[in-house]
Amino acid sequence: MHALVRELYPFCRSITGDGVRATLARIAQEIPLTVHEVPSGTPVFDWTVPREWNIRDAWVKNAAGERVIDFRRHNLHVVSYSVPVHERMSLAELRPHLHSLPAQPDLIPYRTSYYKEAWGFCLPHSTLERLPEGEYEVCIDSTLEDGHLSYGECLLEGDTADEVLVSCHVCHPSLANDNMSGVSVATFLAKALAGSRRRYSYRFLFIPGTIGSITWLSRNEDRARAIRHGLVLTCVGDRAGFTYKKSRRGDAQIDRAIAHVLEHAGRPHATLDFSPYGYDERQYCSPGFNLPVGCLMRSQWGQFPEYHTSADNPGFVDAGSLAEARETVLSVFDVLEHDLRYLNLKPQCEPQLGKRGLYGAMGGSGVRQIEMAMLWVLNLSDGSCGLLDIAERSGLPFGAIHAAAQMLREHDLLALAPGTP
Closest by CA position to 234, among listed 147, 154, 300, 148: 300
Q: Are 121 and 74 in contact (CB under 8 A)?
A: no
36 assigned binding-site residue: no
382 assigned binding-site residue: no
Distance between CA atoms of 182 and 232, rounded to whole angstroms? Answer: 8
Q: Give me the helices (H) in 301-350, please.
A: 319-338
Q: Work out the angle at residue 278's Cα, subtended by the Cα atoms of residues 272 and 281, and round it to the nearest 5 degrees.
A: 85
Provide the 10 A C-beta neighbour count for residue 64.
7
| 247 Cβ contact list (under 8 Å, min separation 6) | 230, 254, 255, 274, 281, 285, 291, 292, 293, 294
178 assigned binding-site residue: yes
Determine the 3-state secondary structure of 207 from DSSP: strand
Q: Are 122 and 108 in contact (CB under 8 A)?
A: yes
Q: How many CA atoms lie within 13 A of 214 on its CB side?
A: 15
β-pairing verdict for 242-245 and 163-169: unpaired
CA distances from 368 to 196, 406, 409 (A): 31, 17, 19
Beta strand ranges found along 170-246 (DSSP E):
201-207, 227-233, 242-245
Amino acid at 375: L
What are the binding residues?
172, 178, 308
For the annotated binding site for Zn(2+), the residues are 172, 178, 308
